[in-house]
């Protein structure tokens, strides 16, 4: 069976590295970006099975990145998990931010929780 490919986008390099290494250990192929511009290019070139996308990036916000990815017919169906420190756990638990097939998780996240969400989306 082919490994699932995940694109992780986060400008917090420590969080990016931890998640990247953990997902590799769990059997995923991982590519990563630290800004929106690179994320869009990697989504188009790698066509990942799923994108884990920080909402706050240095060059554009995650919503803009997602919009550009969804506007491309080759990447429009890729599920996106948004990560943000702007969302409380209570809001996340009420599922008030699940829209358009995309999921939003609060930072800091539990590593097992994000794996559960990833597996439910791909």
Which range of residues forms the domain containing residue 70?
5-117
In a domain? residue 44 = yes
In a domain? residue 96 = yes
Number of domains forming the structure of the chain:
1
Task: Report the predicted TM-score, pTM, of the whole model to 2 decimal places.
Answer: 0.86
Measured CA to CA, the distance from residue 91 to residue 17 in angstroms comes to 27
In a domain? residue 86 = yes
Question: What pLDDT is attached to residue 81?
Answer: 93
Q: CATH number for the domain including 42?
A: 3.40.50.2300
Average pLDDT on 83-112 reads 62
CB contact set of 43 (below 8 Å; sequence gap of 6+): 7, 51, 69, 72, 75, 78
In a domain? residue 113 = yes
Greatest C-alpha distance within the chain = 37
Question: What pLDDT is attached to residue 96?
Answer: 37
In a domain? residue 45 = yes
Q: Indicate the pLDDT class of residue 86, thresholds 50, 70 and 90.
A: low
User: What angle, rounded to 10 degrees, do the helices at 36-46 and 62-71 form?
Assistant: 30
Mean pLDDT of the chain: 86
Q: Which two tokens stand for residue 93?
A: 């638990």
Q: Indicate the pLDDT class of residue 87, thresholds 50, 70 and 90.
A: low
pLDDT in tens, 27-81: 999 999 999 999 999 999 999 999 999 988 999 989 899 999 999 999 999 999 9
């Amino acid at each position: 069976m082919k490994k699932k490919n995940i694109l992780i986008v986060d400008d917090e390099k420590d969080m990016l590295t931890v998640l990247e290494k953990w997902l590799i250990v769990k059997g995923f192929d991982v590519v990563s970006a630290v800004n929106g511009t690179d994320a869009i290019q990697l989504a188009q070139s790698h066509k990942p099975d799923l994108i884990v996308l920080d909402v706050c990036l240095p060059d554009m916000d995650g919503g803009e990145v997602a919009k550009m990815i969804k506007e491309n017919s080759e990447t429009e169906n890729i599920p996106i998990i948004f990560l943000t420190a702007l969302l409380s756990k209570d809001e996340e638990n009420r599922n008030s931010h699940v829209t358009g097939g995309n999921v939003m998780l609060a930072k800091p996240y539990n590593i097992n929780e994000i794996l559960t969400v990833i597996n439910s989306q791909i």
